[in-house]
């Protein structure tokens, strides 16, 4: 994409969405499309992109002081004076209302031939600042992508929960009908009908609340995508985890790809350039000057001495050397501070290395734990489905009460919603781990 050469493919695959609310069909917003929209529209990323453009402009040769300065000068002066002259070989005389005029125009050039290598290291520093800005933009993009998927997966979780609650409500409605038929034929009491109706009411309210929460979360996602809040869509609820062997290869290169460590290395490089720039102040500066100009002067008194107008046209050039033998100590202070700044950067690097090691270990631990929880929840759903089906058969045969049947139904709802929560928490933990090892922007979603 447009930032730091991101290689994230934009898929143009659309599918019919799942049925919610009025069973309207919605287009699926794929993960790749969500990323593409975020990179294109998100305001934080747009600001970061502009920061890269500024850094790129600053690192251009036009901002390096390597090119000469060329400028033009022009001017004129006019005076009207009473003048008195006292020559040695003639009597004094006066000239009243004497006019004097002068005109000049020139093209001038200034060029620094040598400045103690100061501009060289300054230019390298600007280049490294550009690299650091790209890393900072990458960090912004990674943070925004995580924000995107925290909301995207929440939409997916609520979407699946809505489906579960819709199925639950359908089962409860059928139970009301069955209880009504049984009551009409004297096979149960009115209490059974009332219990079934209460459960329908509770299931309806749960479904309404979950649908409303889903609507709100979709608007949150549209904010991240920086598009119309009323935009409707479905999301992809499929989750595929990265193979373990691939994840292990990422972990091996984590310290080479972690964005915080890369930023630290860049900051240390900038400190080294600051030291070299400070040392350059102790060396002389050699400059070249040149000009091509025209001058003309008109003086009334010159008429008495053989001419009234003088013109000069031609080239002029020269070399100059400036060497600050002592500047009050500011150069010494600057060099000392630059060395201290580098020492601070090295200390911060050690601190950040420790923090990154901790963050990677925590992220890996969280991921492995949540994947295990998800696998347990998957098995729990299978167990509760079997329990619910057997409970439904026994309930239809009159072998268990409606309360026992309802409890089996609630257990299944909890198991399915917990599985959904565990699935998306594990996937999001995987993304957080990928960010820590510096691979979040290098994977296919």
Output the pLDDT for position 36. 94
Residue 178: the pLDDT is 86
Please name every residue paired with 106 in a beta bridge, in sequence order, or none if there are none: 73, 293
pLDDT of residue 356: 97
Q: What is the mean pLDDT of residues 313-335?
A: 91
Contacts of residue 175, defined as CB under 8 A and 6 or more positions apart, other chains included, come to 196, 199, 200, 402, 405
Find tokens 């020559």 and name the residue.
Answer: 87
CATH of domain 28-67+116-284+327-437: 1.20.1600.10
Note the Cα 259 to chain centre separation in Å: 12
- Contact 39/9 with Cβ under 8 angstroms? no
Contact 202, 60 (CB under 8 A): no
pLDDT at 160 over 50: yes
Q: Which carries the bigger pLDDT value, residue 296 or residue 111?
A: 111
Looking at residue 2, what is its pLDDT? 37
The DSSP secondary-structure symbol of 319 reads E
Model confidence at 187, pLDDT cuts 50, 70, 90, reads confident
Torsions phi, psi of 313, nearest 5? -140, 135
DSSP 303: G
Q: In this predicted model, what pLDDT tens digit does every residue of 373-413 receive, in sequence order?
A: 999 999 999 999 999 999 999 998 889 988 999 999 999 99
Give pLDDT, residue 70.
94
Q: What's the confidence (pLDDT) of residue 300?
A: 66
Q: Which H helix or E strand runs over 246? A: helix 244-252
Does residue 193 surpass a pLDDT of 90?
Answer: no
pLDDT number for residue 394: 93
Max Cα distance, the chain (Å) = 151
Cα(258)–Cα(256) distance, integer angstroms: 6
Q: Nearest 5°: phi and psi at 186?
A: 75, 20
Most confident stretch, 187-196, 253-262, 305-314: 253-262
Question: What pLDDT was estimated at residue 301?
Answer: 53
**Taking the chain, what is the end-to-end CA distance rounded to the nearest angstrom?**
15
**Between these two residues, 301 and 330, which has the higher pLDDT value?**
330
> Using CA atoms, how far apart are residues 393 and 404, in angstroms rounded to an integer?
12
Averaged pLDDT, 407-425: 96
Q: CA 444 to CA 32: how far, in whole Å? A: 8
Gap between the Cα atoms of 288 and 321, Å rounded: 9
pLDDT above 70 (res 172): yes
- Reported as a pLDDT band with limits 50, 70 and 90, residue 11 is very low
Computed over every residue of the chain, the mean pLDDT equals 88
DSSP for residue 301: G
Q: Say yes or no to pLDDT of 414 above 90.
A: yes
Cut 0.85: pTM above it: no
Given a contact cutoff of 8 angstroms between Cβ atoms, the answer to whether 95 and 301 are in contact is: yes
pLDDT tens-digit map of 243-282: 999 999 999 999 999 999 999 999 999 999 999 999 999 9
Integer-rounded Cα Rg, in Å, for the chain is: 40
- Lowest mean pLDDT across 32-46, 168-182, 353-367: 168-182
**Which pLDDT value is given to residue 295?**
86
- Hey, where are the domains in the chain? 28-67+116-284+327-437, 68-114+285-322
- pLDDT for 13 equals 27
């Amino acid at each position: 994409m447009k930032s730091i050469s991101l290689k994230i493919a934009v898929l143009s695959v659309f599918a019919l969405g799942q049925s919610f609310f009025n069973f309207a069909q919605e287009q699926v917003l794929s993960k790749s499309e969500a990323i593409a929209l975020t990179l294109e529209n998100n305001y934080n990323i747009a600001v970061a992109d502009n920061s890269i453009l500024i850094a790129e402009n600053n690192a251009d040769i036009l901002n390096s002081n390597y090119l000469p300065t060329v400028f033009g000068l022009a001017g004129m002066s006019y005076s009207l004076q009473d003048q008195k002259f006292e020559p040695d070989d003639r009597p004094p005389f006066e000239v009243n209302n004497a006019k004097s005029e002068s005109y000049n125009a020139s093209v001038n050039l200034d060029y620094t031939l040598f400045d103690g290598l100061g501009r060289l290291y300054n230019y390298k520093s600007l280049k490294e600042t550009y690299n650091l800005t790209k890393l900072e933009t990458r960090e912004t993009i990674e943070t925004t992508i995580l924000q995107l998927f925290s909301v995207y997966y929440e939409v997916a979780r609520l979407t699946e929960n809505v489906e579960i609650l819709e199925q639950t409500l359908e089962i409860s409605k059928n139970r009301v009908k069955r209880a009504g038929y049984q009551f009409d034929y004297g096979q149960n009491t009115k209490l059974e009908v009332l219990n079934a109706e209460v459960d329908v009411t509770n299931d309806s309210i749960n479904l309404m609340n979950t649908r409303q929460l889903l609507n709100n979360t979709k608007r949150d996602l549209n904010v991240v995508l920086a598009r119309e809040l009323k935009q409707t869509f479905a999301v992809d609820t499929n989750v595929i985890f990265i193979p373990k062997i691939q994840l292990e290869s990422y972990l091996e290169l984590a310290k080479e790809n972690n964005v915080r460590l890369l930023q630290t290395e860049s900051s240390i490089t900038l400190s080294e350039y600051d030291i070299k720039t400070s040392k350059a102040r102790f060396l002389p500066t050699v400059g070249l000057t040149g000009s091509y100009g025209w001058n003309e002067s008109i003086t009334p008194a010159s008429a008495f001495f053989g001419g009234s107008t003088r013109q000069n046209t031609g080239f002029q050039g020269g070399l100059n050397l400036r060497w600050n033998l002592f500047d009050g100590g500011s150069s010494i202070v600057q060099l000392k501070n630059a060395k201290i700044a580098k020492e601070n950067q090295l200390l911060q690097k050690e601190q950040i290395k420790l923090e990154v090691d901790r963050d990677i270990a925590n992220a890996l631990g969280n991921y492995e734990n949540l994947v295990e929880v998800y696998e347990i929840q998957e098995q729990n759903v299978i167990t509760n489905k079997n329990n619910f089906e057997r409970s439904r058969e026994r309930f239809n045969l009159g072998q268990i009460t409606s309360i026992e049947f309802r409890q089996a139904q609630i257990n299944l709802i909890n198991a399915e919603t917990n599985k959904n929560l565990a699935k998306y928490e594990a996937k999001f933990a995987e993304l957080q781990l990928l960010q820590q090892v510096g691979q979040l922007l290098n994977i296919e979603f």
